[in-house]
Amino acid sequence: MSDGPPLHEISSARRYAGGVTVRVVRAGWFRPDAGGFFGVVPAPLWRRVTSTDDRGRLLCRLNLLLIEAGTKRILVETGTGVRMSDKDRDIKGVEGGDPAAALRAVGEDPESIDFVVVTHLHYDHAGGMVDEAGRPLFPRARYVVQRDEAEAARGDELRLAGIMEAEQLEAVRAAGQLAEVAGEVEIMDGVTVTRTGGHTRGSQAVLIGSSRPGGRAGDSTERAIFFGDLIPTRWQLPVRWTSAYDDYPIDAVEVRSELVPRAAAEGWWCYFTHDPGDLPIQIEATEKGFRVREPA
């Protein structure tokens, strides 16, 4: 077991434009292989920002977002779920990973979730869409997945064989709970999913904070973004630091080089799906590139 923070935690709520609130739910630990995670980046460079265990793995977390918008509750990401083999859990260093257990541990009811946003269909994001028996884990929720991602999962590309959670996706679809979306779609006032691609064909990010006028006086005007695996931790802020797991690295660099400067210029609060540190953070531009803005 890990020293330090507990397996399951929830952050205090931060309020954004349009009255949307966001909390970070920590659903467990996992330890991706550093070589794969940093891809083409030479080890002497990434070793300046993080370090590995004796198996060459990085200590990362499985971060979910619990968003409240109006009367609706949105869960972003589902962790690994409970269907991984013990061998697989050992290789990937997974502890926990069950989103329902994580929610209950912090006093939240999985049945209260209205929407589940899955950024993409890899095991550490989509594995928890279903329970041990393969039924949708969030009984009242609509699951929001980009159509491109669902089609890639159902396709027959060799690189994706056994990589995408196609069985989980089919279980959700068969239960009538799948909402396939295309491109940029507002799920609730102030909560928008947008297709980024890059990491996978239909990866999506979540934008938080309404751009519409008409908020009440005194409301926050702040915005936030959850990048999914397009930028999995703060360590990957250099926009060309793609991972070996990025299926479309050229696209990933292009989209990152649009979003990161915008996040810095507009002061967006940034949430990362695998970052072990305190979230959210803001980004600043420096002569040497983008970095985390230290709190004033």
> What residue ranges bind Zn ion (CB under 5 A)?
124, 229
Shortest Å, Cβ 119 to Zn ion: 8
| Cβ proximity to Zn ion, 163 vs 285, nearer residue | 163
| Cβ proximity to Zn ion, 77 vs 114, nearer residue | 77
| Cβ proximity to Zn ion, 148 vs 165, nearer residue | 165
In Å, how far from its chain's centre is CA 197? 14
Q: Which two tokens stand for residue 209?
A: 């904070």
Shortest Å, Cβ 206 to Zn ion: 15
**Distance (Å, whole) CA 91 – CA 52:** 14
Shortest Å, Cβ 164 to Zn ion: 13
| Cβ proximity to Zn ion, 52 vs 112, nearer residue | 52
Shortest Å, Cβ 272 to Zn ion: 10
| Cβ proximity to Zn ion, 20 vs 130, nearer residue | 130
Q: Can the peptide bond before residue 249 be classed as cis, meaning omega within 30 degrees of 0? A: no
Which contacts of 85-88 are long-range, i.e. CB under 8 A and separated by 24 or more positions? Answer: none
In Å, how far from its chain's centre is CA 264? 19
| Cβ proximity to Zn ion, 229 vs 251, nearer residue | 229
Beta partners for 117? Answer: 76, 144
| Cβ proximity to Zn ion, 131 vs 229, nearer residue | 229
Q: Report the 10 Å Cβ neighbour count for 253.
A: 15
Beta partners for 12? Answer: none
Shortest Å, Cβ 216 to Zn ion: 37
Shortest Å, Cβ 76 to Zn ion: 13
**Distance (Å, whole) CA 238 – CA 2:** 28
CA distances from 155 to 111, 236, 259 (A): 31, 29, 29
Shortest Å, Cβ 22 to Zn ion: 19
| Contacts with 153 (C-beta within 8 Å, 6 or more apart), sequence order | 121, 160, 164, 165, 166, 169
Shortest Å, Cβ 245 to Zn ion: 7
Q: E strands, the chain, where?
A: 9-10, 14-16, 20-30, 60-69, 72-76, 95-96, 115-117, 142-146, 178-181, 185-188, 191-195, 204-208, 224-226, 269-271, 282-286, 289-293
| Cβ proximity to Zn ion, 190 vs 232, nearer residue | 232
